[in-house]
Amino acid sequence: MDIKRAFNLPICLCLIVEQEKLSHIMDNKKQSLIYLAAASHSGSTMLAMLLGAHPDLCSVGELKAGHLGDKNSYLCSCKSLLEECEFWRGVSEKMASRGQSFCIFDAGTDIRSNASPYVLFLLKPLVRRRSVEWMRDVLLNISPSWRKQLARLQRRNADYVRAVAEQAGADAVVDSSKTGIRLKYLLKNKDLDIKVVWLVRDGRGVSLAYKNPSEYADAKDPEFRGGGAEKTQEQGRNVAAGAHEWLRCNQETEAVLATMTEDKWLKVHYEDLCDNTESELNRIFEFIGVNPGKKRMDFKAVEHHVLGNGMRFDSSSLITLDDRWKTELTQVELNEFAQAAGGYNESVGYSSNERRL
Ligand SMILES: [Zn+2]
């Protein structure tokens, strides 16, 4: 027998066994996910892009990937047609290697994907206190289709987060899906290690954005509004309705955070992020566990493949506080806001004495 071959064979076998052990350990290791929880129009697109510019993190927008609009015109933030973007092709390939057929226009990662009318009805109310959530889960678990669907969704979301991290070469992925109900179920995902950044903005600023989203909460260039696609624009709503939406979204986030340990979530104010960007980013990166020294203040210059709000197309990395509510909300509207959500606005740190300039 060839002595050399006789010795090489066991070495090769050992290497194969070690490699299999290693890939088993890698698959079993929880994937880090940073979840941005916020009401709409609170600055989550800006924060997601600031975080995603860190070399150890990746942000692609909302991983729940709602309706994106027309395939033939929807643009990735790299300004390629989404269908033609190499990054997203790579993500689809990595999903396929995990046995998941995947197309970003029909991602199937939303908690409501393929849900029956019964399940949709139960998923509709925002997250509330523990006893109510216990009842929701009892009623959902009666449905065999929900039990199967939830297991499939958890697996698909974990595979998706891993595929994005792998494609970007990042340690952690930022999910700016914002909603509390998605977060509630992701926290039960055994393959994900989740930290939450709760982004809060003065409710009066958010209410102004709700009043006219394309004017106050979209790309500066009208060509890129609504995702750069022929897509229905978000409808405006009056200040009282916007205030109520803002209030309920933040209360929902608080209900989910109450189920977590305090080291797993961090509250950030949009206004602090705009006024003291570097120090706030340092605080967030320390919380996430990545080196703050690697942050990029020229965050728009970094390669991004973000979907969602048109602000992702704005080219300037200059951050300025948007407090147009101080001059553009009328006294009547300010009173409407105060009546709907003034007390809560104060409880999260905003003075009601600040009147129009
Ligand atoms: Zn792209």
Residue 123: which CATH number?
A: 3.40.50.300
Q: Is residue 1 a part of any domain in this protein? A: no
Domain count, the chain: 1
- Residue 109 tokens read as 């990662």
Q: Is residue 72 a part of any domain in this protein? A: yes
Q: Is residue 44 a part of any domain in this protein? A: yes
**CA 307 to ligand 1 centroid distance, Å:** 9
How far apart CA 74 and CA 80 sit, in angstroms, is 9
How far apart CA 15 and CA 43 sit, in angstroms, is 49
Sign of the four-CA dihedral 335, 339, 340, 346: positive
How far apart CA 41 and CA 59 sit, in angstroms, is 18
Lowest mean pLDDT segment, chosen from 66-80, 213-227, 229-243, 304-318? 213-227
Q: Is residue 140 a part of any domain in this protein? A: yes
Residue 254 is part of which domain span? Answer: 32-347
Mean local confidence (pLDDT), 168-192: 97
What's the pLDDT tens digit per position in 169-180?
A: 999 999 999 999
Q: Is the pLDDT of residue 353 over 90?
A: no
> What's the pLDDT band for 357 if we cut at 50, 70, 90?
very low
Neighbours of ion ligand 1 (CB under 5 A): 76, 78, 85, 87, 305
> What's the pLDDT band for 227 if we cut at 50, 70, 90?
low
Q: Is residue 23 a part of any domain in this protein? A: no
Lowest mean pLDDT segment, chosen from 159-168, 193-202, 206-215? 206-215
| pLDDT cut 90: percent of the chain above it | 73
Strand 172-178, strand 192-200: pairing: unpaired
**CA 115 to ligand 1 centroid distance, Å:** 30
CB burial string 196-231: b at 16+ within 10 A, e below: bbbbbbbbbbbbbbbbebeebbbbeeeebbbbbbeb
Q: Is residue 5 a part of any domain in this protein? A: no
Instruction: DSSP letter for 234, please.
Output: P
| Contact of 252 with 179, CB cutoff 8 Å | yes
What's the pLDDT tens digit per position in 46-60?
A: 999 999 999 999 999
**CA 167 to ligand 1 centroid distance, Å:** 12
Q: Is the pLDDT of residue 137 over 80?
A: yes
Q: Is residue 252 a part of any domain in this protein? A: yes
**CA 164 to ligand 1 centroid distance, Å:** 12
Share the mean pLDDT of the chain.
88
Strands (E), the chain: 31-38, 57-59, 172-178, 192-200, 265-269
Q: Which residue has the tokens 């977060």?
A: 183
**CA 174 to ligand 1 centroid distance, Å:** 16
Q: Is the pLDDT of residue 32 over 90?
A: yes
Mean local confidence (pLDDT), 84-112: 95
Q: Is residue 27 a part of any domain in this protein? A: no
Q: Is the pLDDT of residue 124 over 90?
A: yes
Q: Is the pLDDT of residue 221 over 80?
A: no
How far apart CA 153 and CA 136 sit, in angstroms, is 18
